[in-house]
Structure 1
Amino acid sequence: MRMNTNDVVSLISKIREKANRFIVSEMTKYGVEGIVTSHGDIINALFKNPRLTMAEIAGKIGRDKSTVTTLVDKLVRFGYVTKERDTVDTRVVYVTLTSKGSELKPIFNAISREVLNTLYFDISENEKEELVRILNKIHKNL
């Protein structure tokens, strides 16, 4: 089956949309509401590094600082993270997980496993390796 560029872009867009809907649905099953997948990127970054600046988060998740600020502010309102200004340079804002935010780690891990199980259903190990190899090439090309 030969696909043109528009077909490929449309398919990738549809896969991303379905994956995001699946993740939000899974979070709802666990009682986690109000968080979208872009919030999950921030929370996952904080699982790996418990205290990050807004600029560090922006770099790690590939978003601009203004977008990160908006996303973090919502996470603060939901009680998942706190913000703290640097005492020396007040332009620098640190973000840390609250205990409520830290409690999301096992939930996120379970959802990640479920997403992968769903994505890889009926796909052989060789196909998985080939898919990852090709996706890494595409990522590198961009």
Structure 2
Amino acid sequence: MNANDIISLISKIREKVNKRLIAEMESHGIEGIVTSHGDILFALNHRSRMTMAEIASVIGKDKSTVTALVEKLVKLGYVIKERDTEDTRIIYVTLTQRGDELKPVFKQISEELLDIFYAGISEEEKEVLFCLLSRIYGNL
């Protein structure tokens, strides 16, 4: 096994996870969003109000990408944008009621996906996997 094999496998895993996430969202009636939208909604589930810059930092995307993703979520009614009253350059993003209603669905999807992801993997193996992936991430 060489580095290209590992990179290819990680890419295939990511692709399968993304397809599974989209299929699960669609099965719960959530349509029109992709996994990057889900990243934003997930971040807002943990902090109800975030700036565009904070979202970009948390999900690892540049601000222009986040802006486009947020615009789509606004059109779909999942989030609203508000300008800071003191510094109008700052834009806050907040979940709407419709977006807030996704929390239990996302929690369920996440739990089901993790059960599938870690099937047959011991707690000790999970620790080793996490440590190795963290080290690889740090190396990059």
**Where on the TM-score scale, by shorter chain, does this alignment land: which range?**
over 0.9
Q: Which residue of 1 aligns with 2:71?
A: 73
Q: Which amino acid aligns with 1:139?
A: Y
Q: CA RMSD in A?
A: 1.0
Q: 1:138 aligned to 2:136? A: yes
Q: How does 1:46-125 map to 2 (within 5 A)?
A: 46-125=44-123
Amino acid at match of 1:43: L
Unaligned runs of at least 5 residues, structure 1: none
Tell me by how many angstroms 1:49 deviates.
1.2
> Which amino acid in the other structure matches residue 108 of structure 1?
F
Q: Distance in 2 between matches of 1:63 and 1:47?
A: 18
CA distance in 1, matches of 2:133, 2:104: 27
Shift of 1:64: 0.6
1:17-60 C-alpha deviation (Å, 9 max, x unpaired): 00000011111111111111111111111111111111111111
Look up the equivalent residue of 2:82 and give its one-letter code.
Answer: E
Partner SS state of residue 33, structure 1: coil
| TM-score where L is the length of structure 2 | 0.95
TM-score (norm 1): 0.94
Q: Whole-Å Cα distance in 1 between the matches of residues 113 and 136 of structure 2?
A: 21
Cα separation, 2, equivalents of 1:82 and 1:40: 15
What number of residue pairs does the alignment pair up?
140
Q: Residue 93 of structure 2 aligns to a residue in which SS?
A: strand
Moved over 4 A (4+): none
Specify every segment of 5 or more residues in structure 2 that has no aligned partner in the other structure, as ranges: none
Q: Which amino acid aligns with 2:64?
A: S
For residues 53 and 107 of structure 1, the distance between their equivalents in structure 2, rounded to whole angstroms, comes to 24
Using the alignment, how far apart are the partners of 1:115 and 1:135 within structure 2?
19
Deviations 1:44-87 (A, max 9, x none): 11111111111111111111100000000000000000011112
